[in-house]
C-alpha cells in the first residue's frame, strides 16, 4: 500500500482547508487516493457541520454587491458565532461569493422551508396540468410532478443551487466546508435582490 507523504498531506490541506491530522487520516482511509480523501473529508465535514448547526449564530456580516454598473444589486446577511470569525478574510470572501451567487442565479428563497406552502401547491397544480397536457399516463403524473418540484427547489432556493464557482457543489455544501474550516455555525439569514426595471 502507498505511503502517505508530507507533500500529499500539504496538497490535501490546500485543497480542503482541513487540519493536518484530518488530512493524514483521510489519506490513510482512502489508500492515498486524493479524490477519495477529499470525499472522506467532505462526509466528515457534513457530520461536523450538522453538529454545529444548532449553535447560536448572532455575529456576522451584512454585505452588498452591485453588478453591471448598477443594474443588479444584492444585500445579504450571513451570521456566524463570533466577531472574530466575522472579521476573517475567509468569512468575508464567502459572504461576497454568496452575493455574487444571488446576483447571477436569482434565487427567491434561502431554503426550501422558506417557500410558502401555497406557492408550492400552486406550482404542483401548474406542473400537474403540464404533465397531463404532455399525455403522460395518470399513474406516473405524481412521480413526474415530484421530480419537477425538486427541480423547482434546486433553482429557487439559494442553499440548493449549484454553486456558480464550482457547479459540482451546492451552495449548502460550500457552506458546510466553511463551517468545517472555520469551526463555527454559519447561517444565511436573509437577502434581497434588486434588478433595474423589475416590478
Q: DSSP per residue over 107-175, as a string?
A: -SBSSGGGS-HHHHHHHHHHHHHHHHHTT--HHHHHHHHHHHHHHHHHHHBGGGSEETTEEEEEHHHHH
In this prediction, residues 14-24 reach a mean pLDDT of 75
| Superfamily holding 59-110+157-195 | Elongation factor Ts, dimerisation domain (3.30.479.20)
pLDDT in tens, 8-18: 888 877 776 67
CATH architecture type of domain 116-155: Orthogonal Bundle (1.10)
Contact call for residues 16 and 30 (beta carbons, < 8 A): no
Q: How much is the pTM?
A: 0.70
- Domain borders along the chain are 6-52, 59-110+157-195, 116-155
> Can you tell me the distance from the alpha carbon of 2 to that of 34, in angstroms, rounded to the nearest whole number?
12
Contact call for residues 112 and 157 (beta carbons, < 8 A): yes
- Burial (Cβ within 10 Å: 0-12, 13-18, ≥19) of residue 27: buried
Whether pLDDT at 1 is above 70: no
pLDDT in tens, 25-48: 888 888 888 888 878 877 776 555
> Can you tell me the distance from the alpha carbon of 131 to that of 121, in angstroms, rounded to the nearest whole number?
15
CATH architecture type of domain 6-52: Orthogonal Bundle (1.10)
- Quick check: do 6-52 and 59-110+157-195 share a fold? no
Amino acid at each position: 500500500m502507498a505511503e502517505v507523504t508530507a507533500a500529499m498531506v500539504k496538497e490535501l490541506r490546500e485543497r480542503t482547508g482541513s487540519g493536518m491530522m484530518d488530512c493524514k487520516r483521510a489519506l490513510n482511509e482512502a489508500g492515498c487516493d486524493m479524490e477519495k480523501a477529499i470525499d472522506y473529508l467532505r462526509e466528515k465535514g457534513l457530520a461536523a457541520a450538522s453538529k454545529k448547526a444548532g449553535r447560536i449564530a448572532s455575529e456576522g456580516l451584512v454585505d452588498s454587491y452591485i453588478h453591471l454598473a448598477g443594474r443588479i444589486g444584492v444585500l445579504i446577511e450571513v451570521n456566524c458565532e463570533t466577531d472574530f470569525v466575522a472579521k476573517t478574510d475567509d468569512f468575508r470572501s464567502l459572504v461576497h461569493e454568496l452575493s455574487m451567487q444571488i446576483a447571477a442565479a436569482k434565487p427567491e428563497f434561502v431554503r426550501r422551508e422558506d417557500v410558502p406552502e401555497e406557492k408550492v401547491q400552486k406550482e404542483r397544480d401548474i406542473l400537474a396540468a403540464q404533465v397531463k397536457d404532455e399525455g403522460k399516463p395518470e399513474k406516473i403524473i405524481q412521480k413526474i410532478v415530484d421530480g419537477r418540484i425538486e427541480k423547482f427547489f434546486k433553482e429557487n432556493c439559494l442553499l440548493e443551487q449549484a454553486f456558480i464557482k464550482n457547479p459540482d457543489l451546492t451552495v449548502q455544501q460550500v457552506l458546510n466546508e466553511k463551517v468545517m474550516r472555520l469551526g463555527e455555525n454559519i447561517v444565511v439569514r436573509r437577502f434581497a435582490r434588486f434588478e433595474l426595471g423589475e416590478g
